[in-house]
Structure 1
Amino acid sequence: MNVVRFFWRSLALAVLVSLSPLSPLSTALAQDPTQSEIAEARALFMAGQAAVDSGRWADAVDSFSRAYDLSGVAAALYNLGFAYRALGRHVEARDAFDGLLEDHPRFDRQKRREARRYRDESAGRVGQVTLSGLDENRRYLLRFDGQAVADDGTRPLVVEGDPGAHTLTVRTPGFVPFVWEEELRDGQQITVDVEMDEIQVAVVGGGGAVGGGAGAGSGLGGGTEQPEVDEGGFPWWGWVIIGAVVVGGGLAAYFIINGEMQLQGESDRVYDL
């Protein structure tokens, strides 16, 4: 058996909380769960423990998370935080233990001390990327490893990540997307200066001039030259526009015809909108 896997399995068997001693006072739901929800949560809890026993930590996360959503039982949240920690997902582990400590003050005192220690260990491994240069009057679309990050207007904006390689993209209308790719070390804090170039769009002026942005300095100057035309007297850019319409219409028709296709991460057709 892999040494690391054996270590985590042995540690988990020692620290995971059993469901048997729990009381209704250990739940954090707005209303008491139904009997069917309790039964389902118990089955999920046991499935999570079985997943830990066999080293299937991702399955354990899924089971404990669903068990907690159904029951609000503190033990499920404790075990969820531990499973996140075993996977190296320290941001989520820290947040799970924070939720346990805040929402379950009557949880077992010894387990609360352990949860605080695990929480601090995971928090110490979370890296931070501080984004400077963002306009406070704009809102940006950010994705960190493909996951959306909310831009709440805070400047500078801080994005958290686990140790490892990451990709961050920043988008805003009218500007070329900014892409940052780098590896974060345990607890590393870095500052990234976000510099975004404005997209230059060619426009046709009243005198037939073509230019970028405001129309100055590029394209056909002074209106003395005319756009190139084909033998039939039709401007070349007219064919470009017609072609775009035809292609666009075909693409729209494709999605209508193939509407049942779900563009998921596993699909061959993933579009970055």
Structure 2
Amino acid sequence: DAAPSAVDIATARDLFRDGARLASEEKWEASLDAYQRSMALRPSTLTRYSIAVVQERLGKLVEAMENLREFVASDHDSTTRRYVPTASDMLRDMERRIGRIKVVIPGNPRGAQVRIDNTPIPEAAIGVHRPTDPGHRKVEARVPGYAPFVKEVDLKEGESIEILVRLSESEGRVEEDSSNTVASSIDTAPGPSHSTAMILTLGGAGVFATGLGVGIYGYAKAKNADSADGSDADTARTMALVGDIGMGVGLVAAGVGTYLLLSGGKPDTSARVRVSPWAGAGAGGITAGGRF
């Protein structure tokens, strides 16, 4: 491709500054349009990074991730190198938040067509988990000789959904699937935090029961001891003490486990991103920072 003219470079610079200004006003759609126009006139590593930041604010996580990956892998000068750590943090956060949809068509019929939000899905991607932006999604499937299939889902952050296409030979109507259990299978396998909560609850209950048993046995042995002194009495007191400690530890562990189970065992990991423009002689930028 021919190098951009001086006029194109000047126009791209103005568009970049417009994008930064609009981002500071939280006019994300307009900001993205300005950045993308600037990128089309004069491709720039810094512009790509700025596009990714705005795409994240708009919930376009898949596109933002790809732009950030390309940005991180690019050659950097002193201007763009300082944004690499933030870009890497954003990537890790979005990899956790991204959703996935798997569309399964029984028998893998030839000629099947699948769309998600009216975007065609390549045939090779049918039947595999496809990275998808969280939110309300409309899935459509068409197979020659069968009625069209439509399914709408609300994809949560980090969620994987499997949609089973129900084929109906009835012509002239749309097969709308409104079920929540048959057509879509949401992965609800307990994560590490859930498993930890279960282990603490059950293990704590077991330790408490064991401590109670040891304590009762020690109490009975103490009653049957010939005197308050001697080996039998010492053993009884030791067992009673061990029983009390075991009961205490068991109660604490079971309490923590129960709390984690009731609270979901998940800390607040929501991302907070700040976007602010900057400008210098002949250059400008947009930064993203905050807690991830």
Please give the range of the TM-score, normalised by the shorter of the 2 chains.
Answer: 0.5 to 0.7
| Aligned residue type for 1:113 | P
Aligned residues: 170
Instruction: Give the aligned partner of residue 131 of structure 1.
Output: 103
Determine if the alignment matches structure 1 residue 92 to structure 2 residue 43.
Answer: no
Query: Displacement, 1:56?
Result: 0.4
1:173 to 141, 144, 149: 144
1:140 to 99, 112, 137: 112
1:69 to 21, 33, 40: 40
Q: What stretches of structure 2 of length at least 5 have no aligned partner? A: 173-292
What is the 5 A alignment of 1:4-153?
31-102=2-73, 104-107=74-77, 108-133=80-105, 135-136=107-108, 138-146=110-118, 148-153=119-124
2:160 to 182, 189, 213: 189
How far apart in 1 are the matches of 2:125 and 2:132?
A: 18
- Contact 2:12/2:37 (<8 A) preserved: yes
- Which structure has greater strand proportion? 2
Alignment identity in percent? Answer: 24
Question: What TM-score do the two structures reach when normalised by structure 1?
Answer: 0.57
Query: Displacement, 1:97?
Result: 0.7
For 1:86-118, what per-residue CA distance to the aligned partner results, in whole angstroms no more than 9, with x for missing partners?
Answer: 12221121121122123x222533212211211
How far apart in 2 are the matches of 1:114 and 1:53?
A: 18
For 1:228-268, what per-residue CA distance to the aligned partner results, in whole angstroms no more than 9, with x for missing partners?
Answer: xxxxxxxxxxxxxxxxxxxxxxxxxxxxxxxxxxxxxxxxx
- Contact 2:140/2:150 (<8 A) preserved: yes
| Aligned residue type for 2:75 | P
Query: Displacement, 1:143?
Result: 2.2
Structure 1 ranges of 4+ moved more than 6 A: none
Query: Displacement, 1:131?
Result: 1.4
Q: In the superposition, relative to structure 1, how do residues 114 and 199 fare at CA in structure 2: closer, same or farther (>3 Å)?
A: same
For 1:115-165, what per-residue CA distance to the aligned partner results, in whole angstroms no more than 9, with x for missing partners?
Answer: 12112212221110111225545233322223x223232452333322222
- Which structure has greater helix proportion? 2
Say which structure, 1 or 2, has more relative contact order (CA 8 Å, 6+ apart): 2
| Aligned residue type for 1:118 | M
- Contact 1:166/1:181 (<8 A) preserved: yes
- Contact 2:111/2:144 (<8 A) preserved: no
Q: What stretches of structure 1 of length at least 5 have no aligned partner? A: 1-29, 202-273
Query: Displacement, 1:192?
Result: 1.3
